[in-house]
Structure 1
Amino acid sequence: MTETNKARWYVVHTYSGHENKVKANIEKIVENRGMEDVILEVVVPTESVVEIKNGKRKDKSKKIFPGYALVKMIMTDESWYVVRNTRGVTGFVGPGSKPIPLTEEEVENMGLEKRIVHVDFTVGDTITVISGPFENFIGTVEEIHMERQSIKALISMFGRETPVELGFDQVEKN
């Protein structure tokens, strides 16, 4: 194992149905050993699903990757050993015993880390939409939502002002 000082996301294979137990076990070991600076985060990716059973709506959380957990860590011999030997973990995903980190593109596609976009526009500024279904439309900023990384803008469509919500990365200031 080579030691680098950049934390990367690794995929850990677990016993099916034990993903949340593995997450809790790793977090407990990290806390007990004081390894918070090496093993930063453990995630079991889930999505919200609406189930209708007997005419009743029920929101359920469904695992996106059953049998897997994602760990953001700095790969060292000790961190590898701790995660690999956690109860419920069958190994890292990768050839042989060498874990392969997820690429930046994979991390972004899974929504594990959001890119923070800083903006230089304010309410009332004119913007141009540069991507998405409203590409090339011009609008006026009505609201800015920093926490959601989005804006609400009025775009002229079919001769009417229409409010739309756009991500910071979809617009540019005129």
Structure 2
Amino acid sequence: MSLFPDDIVALAAEVIAAFGADEQTLATAESCTGGLIAGALTDIAGSSAVVDRGFVTYSNAAKRELIGVQPETLDRHGAVSRETALEMTAGALRSSQAFAAVAVTGIAGPGGGSAQKPVGLVHLAAATRAGTQLHREMRYGDLGRNGIRLATVETALRMLLEVKSGT
């Protein structure tokens, strides 16, 4: 029995199979999901051949220190931004041996939102060493903290499949 809903388990298994078939590895850089993407992936048997590492970079200091997000990016655009998500993905690739990486940063709530950056706003990025790169801005709405986090995991897994098919 998994900790995750069946649809997320199925997606995670698809990601592990797709990357495993080509002996490619991946890394995660997670803020608002706090490691749930890596958790969903490692819930799948055989994931040790695919998952290189996961970075939980919940604080701005962790984003800077672990994966090299520039202080200027955080100051100018904020932690929840396209620019930060893209730098997180680049940093996860730079700080790992992985072929692909996915990064997420957002506002899961219940507090912390604003008119410009409401609860449910999440920026996701995925990239490969082959140069494929994606960004998504998701506005999930106020699904509740767990709902936003699980929706983010699902989107991140779909993005990994998308960058995989782009290589």
Q: TM-score, normalised by structure 2?
A: 0.26
Larger Rg: 1
Higher helix share: 2
